[in-house]
């Protein structure tokens, strides 16, 4: 039986990963302050040890690392709206939390670490699909939206520095628009927001023209990718895109949700100024991952299409 520490294990992705690892016969220690996660997401299982607290708590994380064979660091500020509204906490959680985790893992005999990063680090890059070695193009510091991308870039720099200087086995995954069952419609998560609105017959709010495109990934495929990387020694010291293969516009997604829900709920376009009245936001027009490296190293391929994501998201609301 392998023992895992999952920071953010009470959250959306963390709770799905916890259940998957339990099915493998492993044990899980969770560190989560439930600021965006929920105790309802945590399985009632004797092989789960829930430690309620912040990933920035050095003593708590150090004690947790002493109990495990590997770490999956998922704890982070989530959702564009929350990041804009709570900038200081978001930056500190991302940067300081990652520093605490890496330091503790290194201090307990170089416990292997998987660091969850984000497609946000590509910023406004115009070259698509995004490849792991592409340059990052971020906006002005006056636009709060880019603080999240910058903080996650610092996480990656720090993790790779620990790998190079101290031999800490680190693998980084850049997640692209992961969605599916149990994802909260809060914090600006688009698919559950659309699903909830359509099921209630309320307007689906689309920011701007809705022509901005994304590649969504079912959380089950995301978990499969994380586990594949954790099981592959060649992945250590590398960065991997983890994302879907179908590019679609936000407006198209809204229409598909309406079709699935058998609704004709109105689609309301709102300006970014209306959506974010305090400013600080700038959108990315296209976000498309090149997953060649992930496929080459692990053989992983996404299995769930957008219709499956919509169905599973609606069923969980």
DSSP 122-173: GBT--SSSB-TTSPPB---TTSTTHHHHHHHHHHHHHHHHHHHHH---EEEE
**What is the model's pLDDT at position 78?**
77
In a domain, 185, yes or no: no
**What is the model's pLDDT at position 40?**
94
Q: Residue 242 has which token pair? A: 């983890």
**What is the model's pLDDT at position 143?**
87
**What is the model's pLDDT at position 31?**
98
| Cβ neighbours around 11 below 10 Å, total | 27
In a domain, 283, yes or no: no
**What is the model's pLDDT at position 283?**
87
**What is the model's pLDDT at position 173?**
98
In a domain, 98, yes or no: yes
**What is the model's pLDDT at position 185?**
87
Spans of the chain, pLDDT less than 50: none
**What is the model's pLDDT at position 126?**
84
**What is the model's pLDDT at position 83?**
75
**What is the model's pLDDT at position 122?**
96
What interhelical angle do 87-107 and 146-166 show, nearest 10? Answer: 10
In a domain, 102, yes or no: yes
In a domain, 124, yes or no: yes
**What is the model's pLDDT at position 279?**
76
In a domain, 28, yes or no: yes
Find the domain containing 226 and state its range. 3-176+217-243+288-302
CATH of residue 226's domain is 3.40.50.720
Number of domains in the chain: 1
* CB-based contacts of 184-187 (< 8 A; 24+ apart in sequence): 184/12, 184/36, 185/317, 186/79, 186/81, 186/82, 187/36, 187/78, 187/79, 187/80, 187/81, 187/82
In a domain, 157, yes or no: yes
What pTM value is reported for the model?
0.96
**Any idea which residues carry the catalytic annotation?**
148
In a domain, 184, yes or no: no
């Amino acid at each position: 039986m392998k023992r895992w520490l999952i920071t953010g294990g009470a959250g959306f992705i963390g709770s799905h990963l916890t259940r998957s690892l339990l099915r493998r016969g492993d044990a899980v220690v969770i560190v989560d302050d439930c600021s965006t996660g929920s105790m309802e997401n945590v399985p009632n299982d004797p092989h789960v040890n829930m430690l309620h607290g912040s990933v920035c708590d050095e003593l708590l994380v150090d004690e947790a690392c002493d109990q495990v064979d590997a770490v999956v660091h998922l704890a982070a500020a989530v959702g564009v709206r929350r990041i804009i509204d709570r900038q200081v906490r978001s930056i500190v959680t991302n940067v300081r939390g990652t520093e605490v985790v890496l330091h503790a893992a290194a201090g307990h005999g170089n416990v292997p670490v998987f660091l969850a990063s984000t497609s946000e680090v590509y910023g406004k890059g115009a070259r698509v699909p995004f490849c792991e070695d592409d340059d990052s193009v971020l906006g002005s510091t006056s636009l709060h939206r880019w603080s999240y991308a910058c903080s996650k870039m610092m996480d990656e720099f720090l993790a790779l520095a620990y790998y190079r200087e101290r031999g800490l086995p680190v693998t980084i995954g850049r997640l692209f628009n992961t969605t599916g069952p149990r994802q909260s419609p809060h914090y600006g998560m688009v698919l559950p927001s659309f699903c909830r609105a359509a099921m209630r017959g309320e307007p689906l709010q689309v920011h701007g023209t809705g022509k901005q495109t994304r590649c969504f990934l079912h959380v089950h495929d995301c978990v499969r990718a994380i586990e594949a990387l954790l099981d592959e020694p060649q992945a250590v010291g590398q960065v991997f895109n983890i994302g879907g293969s179908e590019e679609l516009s936000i407006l198209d997604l809204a229409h598909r949700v309406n079709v699935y829900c058998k609704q004709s709920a109105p689609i309301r376009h709102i300006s970014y100024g209306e959506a974010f009245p305090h400013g600080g936001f700038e959108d990315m027009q296209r976000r498309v991952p090149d997953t060649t490296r992930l496929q080459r190293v692990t053989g992983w391929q996404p299995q769930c299409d957008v219709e499956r994501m919509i169905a599973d998201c609606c069923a969980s609301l």
